[in-house]
Homo-oligomer: A and B are copies of this chain.
Amino acid sequence: MKLLVINPNISESVTTLIATEARLSASQDTDITAVTAAMGVAYIETRFEALIGAYAVAEQIAQNLPGHDGVVVAAFGDPGLMALREALPVPVTGMTEAALSTACQLGSRFSIVSISPRMRGWYLDSVHSSHLSSRMASFRSLNERPSSVATVQQDQSERLIEIAHQCVHEDGADVIVLAGAPLAGLARKIKHRLPVPAVDGVSCAVKQLETLVRLQPNKATAGSYAGVPVKPNQGLSPEMQAFIKAAALLN
């Protein structure tokens, strides 16, 4: 199985974190191709940056999809996830959706632990998009945006552990979701220090994608996830044009 894992922001250091955790989580016969958005910002923490990230992911897919059995959108908030699920002939998963789906099979209520207070509102919106707000115990984060996303998980691991304990003891969380690609891999490092299971978006997205690929669901040809209809377009890259033409052929 060959999976395309796309970092929707432009930071190669974050792609490295993602790729490492993806490979640690993947089954032995799974190959991971990790790519970085060619356009966008260093780190996505707002809805607007996610808008750009969604388009950047689509471009990466248009260029890199052939030969892959599934796609991971590797940023929390899942930029473009539903749209890509519609257009792609293969399954696609996202870090938030996969983490929540997994967490909800480990307990009744989850808390999200994030590296930046700015994400609070947008993450609440993301959880609402998954219709799982009523299973959310709380959102907690570091008090300040970290100076370096590449090293935040080392720099702040003690503080993040403390926050996770508050989620359990004060907010009633049964599961902790460590949110955001910069925390990729942290769950496996600190889980023995937490009193409840902790899940990581990257590993959940990879494992959930492996499941979807193995189940070999057929591509929808009716309903709202059928391929995109054929219609005139303009101003798109040649790769995107080819991709849209292919998506239309799915119908």
**Interface of A toward B, CB cutoff 8 Å:** 10, 25, 27, 37-43, 45-52, 54-56, 58, 80, 82-87, 91, 93, 97-98, 101-102, 104-109, 118-122, 124-125, 128-135, 139, 145, 168-169, 172-175, 188, 191-192, 194-199, 203-204, 207-208, 210-212, 214-226, 228-229, 231-236, 240, 244, 247
Contacts and interface: CB of A to CB of B under 8 A. Distances in A.
Nearest to A205: B105
A145 B83 contact: no
B124 A235 contact: no
A235 B121 contact: no
23 contacts: A10-B232, A27-B27, A40-B235, A41-B231, A42-B231, A48-B58, A52-B55, A91-B105, A101-B104, A102-B215, A104-B130, A106-B212, A118-B226, A125-B129, A128-B134, A131-B134, A131-B135, A168-B223, A191-B217, A194-B218, A196-B222, A196-B225, A208-B211
A199 to B, nearest CB: 7
Contacts of A122: 224
A109 B124 contact: yes
Contact of A121 (B39, B80, B224, B247): B224
Contact of A235 (B39, B119, B169): B39
A215 B40 CA distance: 31
A139 B109 CA distance: 15
A211 B220 contact: no
Given A121-B172, A212-B105, A217-B106, A86 B223 contact: no
